[in-house]
Homo-oligomer: A and B are copies of this chain.
Amino acid sequence: MSNFLGSHAINMDAKGRLAIPAKVREELAQLCGGRIVLTANADEERCLLLYPEPEWEELRPKIEALPNMNKAARRLQRLLLGNAAQMELDSAGRILVPPTLRAHAQLEKKLMLIGLGKKLELWSEERWLAWLDESSDDEDMPPEMEALSL
């Protein structure tokens, strides 16, 4: 079972290639032989989602099955399905990010790769730092969260 954790600062080269950090690469190798799916994020944060292929294949039917008379559901489908790119790590452990996705998340040279358990998120460093600085609004916190004791 996948269990990505931690954040890594990585660079994208002029060709749009980015080297997956060795630790993550290892995990991807034994989890899915380096076969991954990269797609856009659905919520307001403009970042990319990186799934190991098996994890994606579990998620995809659920997205397809959403009742798409609903506007929010249509949005989710268009973003996640419509942007999904299947790819494989090259011999040096790098991936080539498609231009459309690069544009979507406004990726330039400096990026952040964030492990979130079953998936990873890919942010432009600038946006990530800006997001970190945003103040959290404690309002609508789910009850499970209020009960947490860290």
**Which residues of A come within 8 Å of B, CB atoms?**
5-9, 41-45, 49, 59, 62-67, 69-78, 80-86, 98-100, 104, 112, 114-119, 121, 131-132, 135-142, 144-145, 148, 150
Contact = CB atoms under 8 A, between A and B. Distances in A.
Contact of A100 (B9, B49, B70, B75): B9
Contact of A150 (B72, B86, B119, B148): B119
Nearest to A38: B6
Copies in the complex: 2
A50 to B, nearest CB: 12
Q: Which of A41, A59, A71 has most B Cβ within 10 Å?
A: A71
A7 B83 contact: yes
Contacts of A42: 150
Nearest to A70: B142
A143 to B, nearest CB: 10
A62 B144 contact: yes
Contacts of A78: 114, 116, 121, 131
Q: Which of A6, A71, A80, A136 has most B Cβ within 10 Å?
A: A6
